[in-house]
Amino acid sequence: MRDILQILRLTWRAQRGPLIRGTALAVIVVAMGVALLGLAGWFITAAAAAGLAGIGIAFNVFQPSASVRFLALGRTAARYGERLLTHDATLKALTDIRVALLRGVLALPFQTLSRLRGAETMNRLVADVDALDGVVLRLFIPAVTGVILYVAAFPLLWWMTDFTLAIWILASFTLGCGLVLVWAGRHALAPSRRAEKALQAFRIRLIDLLRARDDLVVYGRLPEQTEAVQLAEARMRENLGAIDRLERRAGLALSLTTTLATGTALALGGVLVARGAITPAQAALGFFVALALSETVQPLRRGLADLGRMLDAARRVTRLLPGEAAAGTPARPAPATAPDATCPALEMTDIAYRHPGAEAPVLQGFSLTLAPGACVALTGASGSGKSTVLALAAGLIQPEAGTIRLAGRPIDELPETRLRAEMTYLPQRSMLLGQSFFDMLALADPDLDEREALDLLEAVALSSTVAARGGLHAPLKENGAGLSGGEQRRLALARALLRRPRLLLLDEPTEGLDRPTATRVLGAIREILPEAAILTASHRKAERDWADRLIAMT
């Protein structure tokens, strides 16, 4: 429950005022409902008793009937305000949590972040945050409302009816309904968790089916994958059905508890009337108040049925949220001084780095100096540390020992915005976001015009591809699906060149290109960025011939 309380604390801190007003209105709604039913029962019984006694002409029907109308209309208005305030506050708080959650994901270690599967991770994050809306709306507010109402109802019932009747109504609801809700919460943990996992599995398999349907058709695997999706859907429906059955059982148990409480309250009221302790109207008041108090426990039923789902979601979300210090510390302002042109563009001194869990370091005592306008290629077998050097230079991972300086300044002292403005890293795998060639390029430069985009695509040998697909604004599939691997890589390279960085880090930039195209693209890089320092991890001879200097990694 600690994670649930953490989510509550974050929500309360972000939307304290609206939540206080919304909770107050929720209390008013239930209180007016209890008062309405109790007053109506008292009114009818008292009016009937007055008629039987022959004094109906003297009975004042106007004040009770006016109170009934006031409570009915006031309850409707309060319900509208409560829904508006609580839902708006919850959605705004969840928006803040989403933003903080994305910051937490971006702050993960580079190795962890690179292993995250895009669609699966995003689906998981969205589902977890969506599950948290029940923490406030289905657990916190109904629980607070019930506690406040029980505390207030007991002395009022004691004053208006009898102590014995008041203590029975309070005890029967707090103990009887409390036991039912505890039972429902405990038995719902496992089914709700299984249902959430089954739902995520179904979504992921369906997304995989839709994204890979062309390949599945080509290789004749579409029926098999379709069957897997249908099986996942069947498991999801089975687990959701289990939760619904549990919720219905809890609803039945709560109804039986309410029936027992109200029936006993009616019988107890009759005994008290026979003894002359209270009037029949007061006995009716106690009976109808007990009947109306069932409204305090019914909203909790659905929340407890989803408790396992909410607990798991809260646990995952709180683990990814940034710490209090990180969240509350403003970003350091970028230094106003321009980089020192006399300093090396990149300087790495005595770098040591070991992959998490590895016994031997991948880098030990590594040093590198890269001057502005120079091009250095890292060569060596796979696993020798070329990509690790690029990740270190990009500030994505931190060395165990040694220093890294960018234009004479320690890289760990540079604000993130300044670091990304002066350095661009093109890894082996890049995401292409946007619906067209132009959209994908405009991500790097929002002020991009079509002429500049066409010139850049011509430089990286993509102009014929763009023309064949209908131009700059022709629609493309998700992540550039339909383009060849080499075309996707050149499009990502064009986007990187638009940043005009002082330091360009490239991880096998011409992989998948033939020799003439590779030579043309490499020449365009130097033509577009004549003053930039370039560090590349290379396997191909074209890239080694293009570089000014080679560093062999062993």
pLDDT score for 440 = 85
The Cα–Cα gap between 178 and 387 comes to 59
- What's the chain's average pLDDT? 83
pLDDT band per the 50, 70, 90 thresholds, residue 117: low
The Cα–Cα gap between 531 and 372 comes to 6
Indicate the burial class of 58 (C-beta count within 10 angstroms; 0-12, 13-18, 19 or more).
Answer: exposed
pLDDT score for 77 = 92
Domains annotated on the chain, with CATH: 2-322 (1.20.1560.10), 346-552 (3.40.50.300)
Q: Tens of pLDDT along 354-363?
A: 887 778 888 8
Mean pLDDT of 104-130: 74
Place of tokens 């780095």: 353
Angle at 21 between CA 17 and CA 27, to 5 degrees: 145
Q: How many CB atoms lie within 10 A of CB 438?
A: 19
Provide, rounded to the nearest whole percent, the portion of the chain with pLDDT above 70. 93
Question: HSE on the CB side for 251, CA within 13 Å?
Answer: 11
Candidates 397, 334, 419, 443; CA nearest to 107 is: 397
pLDDT score for 341 = 58
Q: Tens of pLDDT along 456-479?
A: 888 888 888 888 888 888 888 777
pLDDT score for 325 = 35
pLDDT score for 25 = 92
Mean pLDDT of 21-46: 85
The Cα–Cα gap between 49 and 490 comes to 90
pLDDT score for 466 = 84
- Cα–Cα distance list, 390 to 370, 396, 399, 536, 544 (Å): 13, 9, 12, 8, 16
| pTM confidence score | 0.69
**Tokens representing residue 551 in the block:** 């560093």
pLDDT score for 64 = 78
The Cα–Cα gap between 212 and 342 comes to 51
Strand order in the sheet with 409-410: 363-370, 346-353, 401-406, 409-410
**Among 115-119, 133-137, 515-519, which stretch is predicted with the lowest mean pLDDT?**
115-119
Tell me which of 114 and 469 has the higher pLDDT.
469
Tell me which of 131 and 118 has the higher pLDDT.
131
Q: Tens of pLDDT along 272-327?
A: 888 888 888 888 888 888 888 888 887 788 788 888 888 888 888 888 887 643 34
pLDDT score for 150 = 85
Beta bridge partners of 534: 375, 504
